């Protein structure tokens, strides 16, 4: 037999392109258009409909970047249309779409004249069934068209002006396309889906497999059986030819796929939050319209924030969603407020993502999500398993680790073990995308890629256009139905994530285990980009801690005369949680997003400062005394943890003396020697007498690197950055300043074109040296690092994460270790050898690197800790980080983990002095400093009960007594949602106390009934 395979395949491609696709719509009639352009920001539908619409010619250019154009579409359906049972009438609206990148260009949503949503219009979903208009054969409706610019620009990562309204310009971005009433031939459309499924499958099958050639010849016979001049009349015959190959059942051992509809909508990214709200409405309106057509369709929606927006801004659509939730088709998943970053949010913020998300789903729908759902976050903290389980969930899903640059995860279904030993059933969909089209390529990849064959048989495939929204289409559902039981293909079943997890958990019991963080070997620059956003997040987290603590204390201590501001605290928490979305906090969004974030953080700060001031006034009364409000979990300056009292002298005054052209700072606790350029030549603590700085090396060394990643500018730091570095070891000026009893040295430098001023401060009684670096950052594609070369033989570093810390090797024995050349730490990082360590804390920095080197002269080990202070990527925000920054770092010699924990809180909770009449006793005291209270608040249910969240902080077994210093009826352990649970190591002790015997890093939430 001669091989004419390619000839037939080329014939098929042209047959589909030139014959089938044009015949889907047999007849069209253009609509009359009139329009109104919104002057600036979007308006509500009712406001838009009040305006005068003017006639619009077809094919007109429209859409300044981020603008909105309202179209009114009017016409009459010809009387003869729709009478054939094989045809239906639709409206086709092309706003000027391109075929690529749905969700990253113009979009629209159709409205009835009464202000109710019909469905969305998007690049691959341009139709509106006539029956949805509810107006018989007359057509009269509106389209709200959003001129969202293509910021991605083909993913060239070139600087673009479109991310900021101030630079985006006003030139029209689009040109209206075909807008008409159209008659859909259902048989031709179904034939098109048959061909798409079979042709795709054919190309995925091995050449030597008979099934591939069987499909090819069936497609050939289909073309022979049809009349190219009468596609509509012969489509049924074509389908009949293909029926036999479509009916062949799948292999008994075929991989099984649970396909769940999905639309990963980034809550902000290459568009602002205000546009995300409209993207959600567009996507969800499409989803419920599909559900009306297909009762088997199931859609997974992961973000409570996005549904809260629907409730607020689109109540009619939200009502329809609520009905589909009841029907089991629209399924809330994940149980988080947003799909947050998990590397940088603090422990309490990570917990609140689940508290707010799960509570919203429970209150609005009566649904409790049992899976955590984070397909696109940039790596996964080792603390997550415990947090997820503490929220009452049992499963975890992600996709992003498939993006690893170097190493492949060895499993797709496994138990993930966190820092405390909690294990969580976890699944990576082997399809390697959360935006599947259910194409044969996707399905075949999922089956071939699945790494647990022989142990498991099932995986999950989320399908639907995402990132910019859009969601599933009728074509995808057609593909799912055709591959339910099809020879050569995995078996596809449309269902919920919960049904998948339950099935997978039951069939796959002896799971492999992955221990520790799931580090993404990519996007390491997200620990540093957009430093002001990160500073706002860190500051907001600590202000929320203070506000809840003092408001709870004032409520309890005043007997109720102070009213706990629960609603306002919830509002502010939710705003902070929104900004922790995985493209906002990581700094990977357009300028508009980060401008909004900074405005939000300023408002959050003002709101929380007002709450703290009101609570402090109620708690302390009016008086002449100055009190320190100590919100830290450790005593400070004689003031107990979580209490307010008069501050005691911290210790002997610090001195600064000139020596050998440099300066010596000393306070009787530590001693620092600065050279003539303001670098730390020596740092020691009097308790150990040991030198922390490596011989001949320096601390406080700023280094400027070239930062030109291969792609994903704001996201990535590539390892080759280290090969191009400028040491900023020359000072322009060094001077001493007087600041109370503190010793202060000011150093001025220049980093490239950016002036840098450092204030090096040693306070009375302080165990650490504080360095505040102020930079007027004007660089482009540069990375600023601050380093400390330490005389410590550390084979690993400890980095704070949520409710504990994670160890990472400092060596690069394997590719897994080499890939971690940039790591994330929260408030502190610690390096040590047995008996001695050094802690470095920060006020808002997350990116770090730790390297080691053996010295030739003495054989000692230099461990260098560096913090990534600032970056300057060009995409997606070409002016990222330009401007003024202040970043504070402390270095504490002779520190263990306990001291590192204390230093982290000290650096981030600045002394708060308030004038009043009387001190305030802490609501709680703990008998062991290893047990750290992270949150004190009143219960979510408004009962007035007091909630305490604490954790074991040292990574060891720790026991102690937690005492409530107010009348308590009873105390018991709860989950994060404040529901009673059994907690190991927790037991009532009488008089409102609780005895604790906790495992390493154990997280405990306690409820005290007043």
Answer yes or no: are the C-beta atoms of 754 and 877 closer than 8 Å: no
Mean per-residue pLDDT, 353-364: 98
Answer yes or no: are the C-beta atoms of 353 and 337 closer than 8 Å: yes
Q: Which two tokens stand for residue 174?
A: 């689009």
Residue 314: strand, helix, or coil: coil
pLDDT tens per residue across span 679-722: 999 999 999 999 999 999 999 999 999 999 999 999 999 999 99
Answer yes or no: are the C-beta atoms of 839 and 452 closer than 8 Å: no
CA-CA distance, 478 to 494, in Å (whole number)?
Answer: 11
Answer yes or no: are the C-beta atoms of 755 and 764 closer than 8 Å: no
Helix axes 273-293, 304-313, angle to 10 degrees: 90
* C-alpha distance from residue 700 to each of 135, 735, 738, 843 (Å): 73, 16, 21, 16
CB atoms within 10 A of CB 495: 19
Q: Which residues contact 461 (CB under 8 A, 6 or more apart)?
A: 257, 258, 259, 260, 429, 431, 436, 438, 442, 443, 446, 492
Residue 617: strand, helix, or coil: helix
Answer yes or no: are the C-beta atoms of 434 and 440 closer than 8 Å: no
Give the helix/strand (H/E) hosting 758.
strand 754-762
DSSP state of 455: T
pLDDT tens per residue across span 48-73: 999 999 999 999 999 999 999 999 99
CA-CA distance, 922 to 635, in Å (whole number)?
Answer: 11
Binned at pLDDT 50, 70 and 90, residue 651 comes out as: confident
CA-CA distance, 906 to 896, in Å (whole number)?
Answer: 15
Residue 377, burial from CB neighbour count under 10 angstroms (0-12, 13-18, 19+) = buried
Q: Which two tokens stand for residue 799?
A: 């980095």
Answer yes or no: are the C-beta atoms of 413 and 397 closer than 8 Å: no
CA dihedral 293, 295, 298, 302 (to 10 degrees): 70
Q: Which residues contact 487 (CB under 8 A, 6 or more apart)?
A: 211, 248, 249, 250, 251
Answer yes or no: are the C-beta atoms of 262 and 300 closer than 8 Å: yes
pLDDT exceeds cutoff 70 at 983: yes
Mean per-residue pLDDT, 652-678: 96
Residue 250: which of 211, 209, 208 has the closest Cα? 211
In the chain, pLDDT over 70 holds for what percent of residues?
Answer: 100
Q: Which two tokens stand for residue 1001?
A: 């890093």
pLDDT tens per residue across span 566-594: 999 999 999 999 999 999 999 999 999 99
* pTM > 0.85: yes
Bridge partners (DSSP) listed for residue 926: 962
CA-CA distance, 373 to 401, in Å (whole number)?
Answer: 14
Kindly name the residue from 164, 194, 341, 376 that is annotated as catalytic.
376
Residue 911: which of 608, 647, 601, 607 has the closest Cα? 647
Task: Determine how β-strand 138-146 pairs with β-strand 174-175.
Answer: unpaired
Q: Which two tokens stand for residue 493?
A: 């079943």
Task: Determine how β-strand 299-303 pairs with β-strand 330-336.
Answer: parallel
pLDDT tens per residue across span 198-231: 999 999 999 999 999 999 999 999 999 999 999 9
Residue 117: which of 46, 197, 190 has the closest Cα? 46
CA-CA distance, 880 to 551, in Å (whole number)?
Answer: 37
Binned at pLDDT 50, 70 and 90, residue 134 comes out as: confident
Q: Which two tokens stand for residue 587?
A: 């700094």
CA-CA distance, 1001 to 235, in Å (whole number)?
Answer: 65
The CA-CA-CA angle for residues 358, 360, 364, to 5°, reads 125
Q: Which two tokens stand for residue 392?
A: 């009452």
Residue 230: strand, helix, or coil: coil
Residue 580: which of 823, 867, 337, 312 has the closest Cα? 337
* C-alpha distance from residue 636 to each of 416, 609, 625 (Å): 38, 21, 18
CA-CA distance, 796 to 837, in Å (whole number)?
Answer: 11
Q: How many angstroms separate the first and last alpha carbons of the chain?
A: 87
pLDDT exceeds cutoff 70 at 843: yes
Task: Determine how β-strand 395-397 pairs with β-strand 423-427.
Answer: parallel
In the residue annotation, 376 being an active-site residue is answered as yes
Residue 693, burial from CB neighbour count under 10 angstroms (0-12, 13-18, 19+) = buried
**Rg of the chain's alpha carbons, rounded to an integer?**
31
Q: Which two tokens stand for residue 31?
A: 């609509």
Mean pLDDT value across the chain: 97
In the chain, pLDDT over 90 holds for what percent of residues?
Answer: 97
pLDDT tens per residue across span 910-920: 999 999 999 99
Longest Cα–Cα distance of the chain, Å, equals 103
Answer yes or no: are the C-beta atoms of 668 and 681 closer than 8 Å: no
Answer yes or no: are the C-beta atoms of 335 and 361 closer than 8 Å: yes
- In a 13 Å sphere around the CA of 492, the CA atoms on its Cβ side amount to 33
The CA-CA-CA angle for residues 472, 475, 478, to 5°, reads 105
Q: Which two tokens stand for residue 522?
A: 């990519």
DSSP state of 412: S
CA dihedral 216, 218, 220, 225 (to 10 degrees): -170
CA-CA distance, 236 to 230, in Å (whole number)?
Answer: 11
DSSP state of 732: S
pLDDT exceeds cutoff 80 at 1: no
Bridge partners (DSSP) listed for residue 742: 739
Q: Which two tokens stand for residue 542?
A: 């600590």
CA-CA distance, 863 to 789, in Å (whole number)?
Answer: 6
Check residue 228 and give its pLDDT: 96
Give the helix/strand (H/E) hosting 290.
helix 273-293
Mean per-residue pLDDT, 386-413: 97
DSSP state of 386: H
What order do you get walking across the sheet with 769-777 strand by strand? 733-739, 742-751, 754-762, 769-777, 883-893, 836-842, 828-833, 796-801, 804-809
For 704, list phi and psi in degrees, rounded to 5: -110, 120
DSSP state of 518: B
Q: Which two tokens stand for residue 39?
A: 């002057």
Answer yes or no: are the C-beta atoms of 524 and 425 closer than 8 Å: no
pLDDT tens per residue across span 590-624: 999 999 999 999 999 999 999 999 999 999 999 99
CB atoms within 10 A of CB 86: 14
């Amino acid at each position: 037999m001669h091989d004419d395979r390619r000839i037939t395949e080329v014939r098929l491609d042209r047959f589909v392109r030139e014959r089938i696709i044009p015949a889907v719509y047999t007849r069209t009639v253009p609509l009359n258009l009139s329009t109104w352009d919104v002057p600036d920001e979007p308006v509500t539908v009712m406001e838009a409909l009040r305006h005068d619409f003017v006639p619009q010619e077809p094919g007109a250019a429209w859409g300044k970047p981020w603008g909105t154009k309202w179209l009114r579409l009017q016409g009459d359906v010809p009387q003869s249309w729709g009478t054939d049972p094989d045809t239906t009438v639709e409206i086709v609206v092309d706003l000027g779409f391109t075929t690529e990148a749905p969700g990253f260009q113009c979009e629209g949503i159709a409205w009835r004249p009464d202000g109710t949503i019909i469905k969305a219009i998007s690049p691959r979903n341009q139709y509106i069934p006539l029956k949805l208009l509810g107006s018989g054969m007359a057509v009269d409706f509106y389209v709200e068209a959003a001129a969202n610019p293509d910021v991605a620009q083909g993913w060239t990562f070139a600087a673009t002006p479109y991310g900021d309204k101030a630079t985006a310009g006003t030139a029209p971005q689009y040109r209206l396309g075909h807008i008409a009433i159209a008659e859909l031939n259902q048989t031709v459309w179904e034939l098109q889906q048959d061909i798409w499924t079979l042709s795709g499958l054919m190309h995925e099958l091995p050449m030597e497999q008979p099934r591939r050639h069987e499909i090819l010849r069936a497609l050939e016979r289909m073309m022979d059986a049809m009349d190219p001049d009468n596609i509509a009349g012969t489509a049924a015959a074509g389908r009949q030819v293909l029926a036999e190959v479509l009916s062949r059942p799948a292999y008994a051992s075929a991989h099984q796929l649970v396909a769940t509809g999905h639309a990963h909508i980034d809550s902000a990214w290459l568009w602002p939050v205000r546009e995300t709200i409209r993207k959600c409405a567009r996507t969800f309106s499409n989803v419920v319209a599909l559900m009306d057509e297909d009762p088997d369709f199931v859609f997974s929606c992961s973000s409570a924030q996005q549904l809260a927006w629907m409730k607020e801004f689109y109540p009619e659509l939200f009502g329809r969603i609520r009905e589909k939730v009841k029907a089991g088709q629209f399924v809330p998943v994940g149980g988080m407020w947003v799909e947050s970053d998990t590397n940088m949010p603090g422990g309490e913020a990570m917990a609140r993502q689940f508290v707010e998300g799960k509570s919203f789903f429970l209150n609005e729908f009566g649904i409790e999500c049992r899976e955590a759902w984070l397909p696109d976050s940039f790596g996964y903290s080792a603390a997550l398993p415990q947090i997820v389980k503490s929220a009452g969930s049992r499963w975890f899903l992600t996709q992003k680790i498939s993006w690893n640059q170097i190493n492949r995860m060895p499993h797709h279904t496994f138990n993930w073990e966190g820092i405390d030993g909690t294990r969580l059933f976890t699944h990576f969909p082997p399809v390697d995308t959360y935006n599947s089209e259910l194409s044969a390529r996707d399905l075949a990849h999922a089956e071939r890629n699945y790494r647990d064959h022989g142990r498991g048989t099932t995986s999950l495939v989320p399908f639907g256009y995402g990132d910019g929204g859009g969601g599933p289409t009728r074509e995808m559902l057609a593909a799912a139905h055709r591959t339910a039981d099809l020879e050569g293909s995995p078996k596809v079943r449309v269902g919920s994530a919960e049904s998948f997890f339950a099935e997978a958990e039951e069939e796959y019991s002896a799971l492999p285990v992955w221990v520790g963080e799931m580090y993404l070997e990519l996007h390491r620059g997200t620990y540093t980009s957009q430093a002001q956003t990160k500073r706002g997040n860190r500051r907001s987290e600590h202000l929320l801690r203070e506000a809840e603590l003092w408001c709870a204390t004032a409520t309890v201590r005043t007997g109720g005369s102070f009213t706990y501001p629960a609603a306002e605290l919830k509002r502010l928490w939710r705003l902070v949680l929104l900004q922790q979305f995985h493209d906002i906090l990581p700094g990977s969004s357009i300028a508009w997003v980060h401008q909004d974030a900074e405005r939000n953080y300023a408002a959050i700060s003002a709101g929380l400062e007002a709450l703290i001031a009101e609570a402090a006034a109620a708690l302390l009364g009016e008086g002449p005394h100055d009190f320190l409000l100590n919100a830290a979990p450790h005593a400070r300056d004689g003031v107990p943890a979580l209490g307010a009292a008069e501050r005691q002298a911290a210790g002997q005054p610090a001195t600064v003396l000139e020596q050998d052209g440099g300066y010596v700072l000393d306070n009787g606790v530590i001693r620092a020697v600065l050279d003539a350029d303001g670098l730390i030549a020596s740092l020691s603590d009097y308790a150990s007498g040991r030198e922390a700085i490596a011989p001949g090396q320096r601390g406080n060394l700023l280094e400027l690197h070239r930062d030109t990643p291969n792609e994903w500018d704001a996201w990535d730091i590539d390892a080759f950055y280290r090969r191009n570095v400028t040491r900023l070891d020359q000072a322009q000026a060094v001077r001493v300043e007087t600041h109370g009893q503190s010793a202060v040295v000011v150093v001025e430098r220049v980093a490239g074109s950016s002036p840098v001023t450092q204030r090096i401060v040693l306070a009375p009684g302080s165990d650490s040296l504080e360095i505040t670096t102020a930079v007027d950052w004007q660089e482009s594609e540069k990375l600023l690092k601050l380093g400390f070369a330490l005389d410590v033989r550390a084979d690993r570093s400890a980095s704070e994460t949520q409710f504990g810390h994670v160890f990472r090797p400092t060596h690069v024995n394997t590719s897994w270790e080499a890939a971690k050349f940039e790591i994330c730490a929260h408030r502190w990082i610690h390096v040590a050898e047995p008996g001695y360590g050094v802690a470095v804390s920060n006020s808002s920095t997350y990116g770090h690197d730790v390297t080691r080197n053996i010295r030739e002269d003495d054989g000692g080990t230099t461990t260098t800790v560096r913090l990534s202070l600032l970056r300057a990527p060009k995409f997606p925000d070409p002016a990222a980080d330009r401007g003024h920054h202040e970043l504070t770092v402390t270095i504490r010699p002779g520190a263990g983990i306990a001291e590192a924990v204390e230093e982290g809180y000290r650096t981030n909770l600045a002394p708060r002095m308030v004038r009043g009449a009387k001190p305030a006793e802490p609501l709680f005291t703990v008998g062991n400093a290893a047990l750290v209270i992270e949150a004190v608040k009143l219960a979510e249910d408004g009962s007035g009960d007091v909630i305490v969240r604490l954790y074991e902080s040292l990574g060891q077994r720790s026991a102690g007594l937690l005492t409530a210093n107010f009348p308590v009826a009873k105390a018991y352990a709860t989950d994060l949602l404040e529901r009673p649970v059994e907690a190991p190591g927790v037991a009532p002790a009488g008089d409102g106390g609780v005895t604790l015997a906790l495992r390493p890093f154990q997280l405990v939430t306690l409820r005290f009934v007043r």
